[in-house]
Each structure stands twice: as structure tokens, then as C-alpha cells.
């Protein structure tokens, strides 16, 4: 199934990131699983409120209107809910007209282990523990930090990447941590023409770049940035690495 989506950018989003399940989670914590299940079933026709990842998911899926197959974006839903209690989640997906068709309902288990099976390039979750597990298993993942929802109408999507140990491998960072700034600078100067190895987010960047290339120039809505503590002369190796990856 993952092979069919090789040309697509595939992003896994947890149900608690896509929708606001704080009230429901409180029922689970205070009253237990049985009460939670009953609550979800009782309210399964009531759409859930939008969560922290909702706006991003909506914008990403909208890109499918301006790109042609086999390119595009797919959102995969991962949830700790069971298929039974998860019906409310899919009803909410239908309510908001989100083109999400693939999901894994894990019955209380952490969903991170399904990320690679779905061929996902990125996992977004509000659960730091799940994100940590994904990263430990070589999957690009990020924790969504709770903040007031931004209902900006702009369709532009912006991604900012950290450099060493994120987009790139941690080979240079290890030199800095073990030998200090002077040794790091000398090492980077000596290897300035040798591309850095990829880090956990390289495959996501590659898929994102492929998506960017499939979007007509006049409709380009994806913006990327590299945020790094590197300064000259250590910048040269980064630039040459990105050139080599292009």
C-alpha cells in the first residue's frame, strides 16, 4: 500500500492533534475507559472541535487541487482510539470535508509503530512520548505545542528546519560537543566540500521538495527555511550539502 504513495508527501497526524479531544481525554482520565467509550459513542454525531494540526492539514490537502497525480499530499490519521470509539473521529473528518481515507485505530496502544507501514514522511502528534519513540526509530516526528489556534486565511505553508542532527546527521554536532567550537569550525572548513549525511528529516524534505516541483510556479504556496546556529565559515558545507541533495 505504501508503494502507491511513493510520489506523494505522506504525513501522519494523531487524532488529538487534528481535533481538540481535551474534554474527551479528561473523561478518560477521571472516569476510565468504559466511561470514555460511552461518551464518544453518545456524541459520535457531534463534530469535534478543530485541533492544533487542523489548519495545516487543510492547507496541505488543498494542494491536491493544483497538482496532478501521482504527486500530491496524503494525510494518514493515527489514533489510540478503538475502531468503535473512532467512529466519531471519522464522522468529524466527513463533517469538515477532509480527504482522509487511511487510518490506524490502535485500541489504546501508541500509534508510532504504524508510521513506516503507511510510508509516512512525517508524524505530527500532541503526545511527546509518541514523538520520542518515532524519532528513536528513525522517523521524522514533531510535537505540536498548544497555542491559540490561528485561523489565518492565507494558503501559504511555511516549514522551518533545524540543521545539525535534524535535517543533517549529527556528525558535525558530535565534534562540537566533544571537542568544542574551535575543533568544530576547523573540521567543517576541512570538509566544506563534502556533503553532510542526512538526518531524520531528510526524507521529509526530499518529499516536500518533490511536491514543490510539481506545483506550478504561479501557484507556489510552500516556503521552506533553514534555521541554524552555524555561522561563517561553517555555513559553506551546509550550502554545498543542500546543492548536492537538490
Tell me what percent of the chain is helix, strand and coil, each rounded to the nearest 5: 45, 20, 35
> Which residues have C-beta within 8 Å of that of residue 11, sequence separation ≥ 6?
57, 60, 73, 74, 75, 76, 120, 121, 122, 123, 124
Choose the catalytic residue: 45, 130, 162, 219: 162
122 in helix, strand or coil? strand
Q: Which of 204, 192, 216 is CA-nearest to residue 159?
A: 204
- Is 162 a known active-site residue? yes
Distance in angstroms (rounded) separating the CA atoms of residues 75 and 103: 9
Residue 241, CB-side half-sphere exposure with 13 Å CA sphere: 23
Catalytic residue list: 162
Amino acid at each position: 500500500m505504501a508503494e502507491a504513495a511513493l510520489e506523494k508527501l505522506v504525513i501522519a497526524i494523531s487524532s488529538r492533534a487534528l481535533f481538540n479531544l481535551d474534554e474527551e481525554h479528561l473523561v478518560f482520565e477521571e472516569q476510565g475507559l468504559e466511561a470514555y467509550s460511552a461518551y464518544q459513542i453518545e456524541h459520535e454525531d457531534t463534530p469535534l472541535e478543530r485541533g492544533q494540526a487542523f489548519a495545516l492539514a487543510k492547507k496541505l490537502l488543498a494542494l491536491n487541487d493544483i497538482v496532478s497525480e501521482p504527486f500530491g499530499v496524503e494525510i494518514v490519521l493515527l489514533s489510540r482510539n478503538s475502531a468503535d470509539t473512532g467512529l466519531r473521529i471519522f464522522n468529524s473528518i466527513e463533517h469538515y470535508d477532509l480527504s482522509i481515507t487511511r487510518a490506524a485505530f490502535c485500541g489504546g496502544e501508541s500509534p508510532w509503530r504504524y508510521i513506516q507501514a503507511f510510508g509516512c514522511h512525517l508524524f505530527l502528534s500532541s503526545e511527546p512520548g509518541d514523538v520520542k519513540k518515532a524519532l528513536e526509530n528513525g522517523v521524522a516526528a514533531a510535537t505540536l505545542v498548544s497555542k491559540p489556534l490561528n485561523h489565518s486565511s492565507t494558503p501559504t505553508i511555511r516549514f522551518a528546519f533545524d540543521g545539525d542532527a535534524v535535517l543533517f546527521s549529527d556528525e558535525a554536532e558530535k565534534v562540537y560537543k566533544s571537542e568544542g567550537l574551535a575543533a568544530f569550525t576547523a573540521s567543517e572548513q576541512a570538509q566544506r566540500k563534502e556533503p553532510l549525511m542526512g538526518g531524520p528529516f531528510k526524507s521529509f524534505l526530499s518529499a516536500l521538495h518533490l511536491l514543490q516541483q510539481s506545483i506550478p510556479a504561479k501557484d507556489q504556496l510552500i516556503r521552506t527555511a533553514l534555521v541554524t546556529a552555524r555561522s561563517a565559515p561553517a555555513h559553506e558545507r551546509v550550502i554545498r550539502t543542500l546543492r548536492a541533495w537538490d
